[in-house]
Structure 1
Amino acid sequence: MIDYSRNWLFIDPELQSRLGELRLLIMGVGIGSVMAELALRTGIRHITIADGDQVDASNLNRQNYTSADIGRRKVLACADRLRAIDRSASIRVIDAFLDEAMLREEIPKADVVINTIDFDSPVFLLSNRLCRQFEVLELFPMNIGFGSSVCVFQKDGRGWSELFQFENHVDLKQKILQHLAQAAQFAPYLQEAAARYFVPERPAFDPQLGISCAISSSLMLGLIIKHLRGESLKAFPEFYFLDATLPHFL
């Protein structure tokens, strides 16, 4: 079992205990693999990870896998890593892409949901609705350049469909990025990147950096801690944004 004594100055015993009791559901163990490890090392000991994908060499620039994991199921490789850190932790594995029935079963069991499901999955929006229906805090991270944004969804707040009108997942992604760009005052390099992103000839895969995954995970864990302390969180359509190349935090 992990000795959390080095957390003492910043996490008091009561908060440490509450972290240990929290039930975290991570949907997608790309970014989620980094978040899962940080959560466990900080004190979250009940973690369910769900994903139906396998590790690819292109994941290694940002996700918590090694070359030995290439070709393995992501959830199994992630679970092995977590259990190697602490075999006494409760790590549940769902080796599948979540469908509606799974969401309806799993979301009510969780205290916090990390939603990293791909935009083109039909359950991406369903998770957003069900978390609010079941009064479960949902965090949505988005890697952006050398930084990250995190949107917070709570029971009485607005969801994607209440703010945006869209025809498909590409349209939704563009509207989300435009919303973030306008409110966050993106750095010039991101403004230039945004102009080149939504063009037909771009690569099919999204650009993502390791620093972004680390920032996303850190932001989400910080928000969970604020939530456990009873502090208010900025709810969507407001959001949190941090770019490591900029001197400010939004």
Structure 2
Amino acid sequence: MDERYNRNRIYVSEEEQDKIRGTRILLGGAGIGSVIAECALRFGFEDIVIVDGDKVELSNLNRQNYVKTDIGKSKAECLAKRLLRINPKANIQFHDTFIDKGNVRELLDGVHIAINALDFKSDIPFIFDDLCSKRKIPVLHPYNFGWGAFLTIVKPGGYQLTEVSSTYKGFEVKMAEFLARYCTFWNMPNRWLDNVIEKYQNESGELPPPQLSVASWIVAGHCVNAMFDILTGKEVKFFPKFYFSSLRCDPA
């Protein structure tokens, strides 16, 4: 096995490592995606396409994979440069633009797995998933719920996230409510999450959801694990099933 990945041995076979290396990932959104990208690269995914038109802001630094000198610069470009400093031989492409109806089809060319970390400011995340489904591309949806990391995967030809809500407005909160209702139904309530949802909904003005670095790093690991499992034919939970991890729990 390549010396770079020698410590992956036993967990990952040489054949699997080669398969990972040749898998093209499309990263739609370089916010939480910035953490996922580095975890994926270090694991052995060396063909990554990054698409995001945002600039790095100071408020990103509490949870995203950037440094102070990146502020004001293109997220996609800063992330690409960081990844290439880790592995200069990797095929890292970046597009300093937002995914829209005009470019999404071209961006999906040659992609094997997509990560939908797009902001729900329009119906583009739904369009993105629909096109991936038609091209038989599985789509990972990572969410940062502060103390908890949530991941659901949309299977080509399977259920779409529009089952949760047909509108993009407030979708992140609706996904948190989906999780909270599920846990309560199965007698696994997460009252801390219920409390966060209630407080956020009571905040004045249109503020972005509160997020912590904790969930960004946990969900990044889940994403890389899930991508490995998809590629190697292991069992994977597809939406409406999901993965959720948190050390926060209610007393029995």
- With the length of structure 1 as denominator, give the TM-score of the two structures: 0.92
Return the alpha-carbon distance in structure 2 between the equivalents of residues 140 and 168 of structure 1.
14
Residue segments in structure 2 that go unaligned for 5+ positions in a row: none
Residue 204 of structure 1 is matched in structure 2 by 207
1:130 is displaced (CA, Å) by 0.8
| Matched residue count | 245
1:118-197 matched pairs, under 5 angstroms:
118-161=119-162, 163-170=163-170, 172-184=171-183, 185-197=188-200
Return the alpha-carbon distance in structure 2 between the equivalents of residues 119 and 225 of structure 1.
27
Return the alpha-carbon distance in structure 1 between the equivalents of residues 3 and 247 of structure 2.
30
Offset from partner CA, 1:84-134 (integer Å, 9 cap, x none): 111110000111001112111122421110001011133111011111111
Greater Cα shift, 85-94 or 230-239:
230-239
Task: Find the residue that maps to 2:202 and give its secondary structure.
Answer: coil
Task: Find the residue that maps to 2:177 and give its secondary structure.
Answer: helix
1:166 is displaced (CA, Å) by 4.0
Residue 47 of structure 1 is matched in structure 2 by 48
- With the length of structure 2 as denominator, give the TM-score of the two structures: 0.92
Return the alpha-carbon distance in structure 2 between the equivalents of residues 165 and 217 of structure 1.
25
1:19-38 matched pairs, under 5 angstroms:
19-38=20-39
Return the alpha-carbon distance in structure 2 between the equivalents of residues 186 and 104 of structure 1.
40
Return the alpha-carbon distance in structure 2 between the equivalents of residues 237 and 47 of structure 1.
27
Return the alpha-carbon distance in structure 1 between the equivalents of residues 238 and 95 of structure 2.
29
Greater Cα shift, 39-48 or 189-198:
189-198
Residue segments in structure 1 that go unaligned for 5+ positions in a row: none
Return the alpha-carbon distance in structure 2 between the equivalents of residues 124 and 5 of structure 1.
37
* C-alpha distance 200-155 of structure 1, shift in aligned 2 (>3 A): same
1:12 correspondence with 2:13: yes
Task: Decide whether the 8 Å contact of 1:2 with 1:41 is kept in 2.
Answer: no
State, as a whole percentage, how many aligned pairs show the same letter: 32
Task: Find the residue that maps to 1:205 and give its secondary structure.
Answer: coil
* C-alpha distance 107-229 of structure 1, shift in aligned 2 (>3 A): same
Return the alpha-carbon distance in structure 1 between the equivalents of residues 52 and 3 of structure 2.
26
